[in-house]
Amino acid sequence: MDGQPDIVSSGSQRPRGARWAGPGRGNWIAITVVAVLVICVGVITSLALLVAHRDDTISDLRAAMRNARPAPTMAAGLPIVSGSAMFMLPDAAGGSFSVVAVAASPRPGSAALTWLFVYGRHAVPGERYGLLEDTCGGQYIAPSDVADGTADQRGNLTIVAPSLAISPRAPDVWILVYRWEDGAPLGGVQGPLIGDGARTFRSAPPC
């Protein structure tokens, strides 16, 4: 023995200057997976709401047209829905809007008419909105106002444009949602409104 006392250390000591390394690779993977799942749930929820809107719209349309038919003509047959489509318009500063288009014949053998339904969320409460319709190349004719509606106190909006005498499958037809106060465009759809080839746009049709 050299007379020097023995030094015994117990427990663990944190080295000076040690830094927190943050979540490990496994934790980052878990965080990423959770984030992706949250995004997917949001997208699925939005699509589910649109599908519900479309289905409710078609059901309401059938009921409205059935009730509007005079009793003596009921035997001729019920209105026929020959097609439908739904579109999510590009998000605008004034809310999120979607459009449901339905092609319906008032009676068998008659030409299909176009019914349009606009749904808005997060719109400005009490703000009035309109729906325009026109065709590509119709620069000498002003677009037609076909319907309008006012957002409720929760920012929800519904606009119904019934029995429009426009072809639901015409490729040159376009519709546009706009803010009534200043005419600001909030998105639209260029036809065909039913079938393949429709295109959504933010402020002006791509034709």
Q: Rounded to an integer, what distance in angstroms lies between the CA atom of residue 162 and that of residue 139?
A: 25
Structure tokens at 36: 């992706």
Q: Rounded to an integer, what distance in angstroms lies between the CA atom of residue 199 and that of residue 100?
A: 14
Q: Which helix (H) or strand (E) holds 39?
A: helix 25-68
Domain segments of the chain as ranges: 25-201
Higher pLDDT, 131 or 77: 131
Cβ partners under 8 Å of residue 186, min gap 6: 89, 92, 94, 95, 97, 129, 176, 177, 178, 179
CB 158 within 8 A of CB 117: yes
Q: Rounded to an integer, what distance in angstroms lies between the CA atom of residue 160 and that of residue 36?
A: 36
Q: Helix H segments across 69-173?
A: none
Q: With bands split at pLDDT 50, 70 and 90, how would you rate the model's confidence at 107?
A: confident
Average pLDDT over residues 114-121: 94
Q: With bands split at pLDDT 50, 70 and 90, how would you rate the model's confidence at 111?
A: confident
pLDDT confidence of residue 62: 53
pLDDT confidence of residue 145: 93
CB 160 within 8 A of CB 143: no
Q: Indicate if the pLDDT at residue 24 is higher than 70.
A: no
- Going by C-alpha positions, the residue among 186, 84, 184 that lies closest to residue 175 is 186
> pLDDT tens digits for 143-153?
899 999 999 99
> pLDDT tens digits for 25-78?
554 343 433 333 333 333 344 444 455 555 555 555 555 555 544 433 333 456
> pLDDT tens digits for 1-15?
444 444 344 444 444
- Going by C-alpha positions, the residue among 188, 197, 85, 90 that lies closest to residue 134 is 188
Q: Rounded to an integer, what distance in angstroms lies between the CA atom of residue 104 and that of residue 111?
A: 8
Q: How many CB atoms lie under 10 A from the CB of residue 91?
A: 13
Q: Indicate if the pLDDT at residue 18 is higher than 80.
A: no
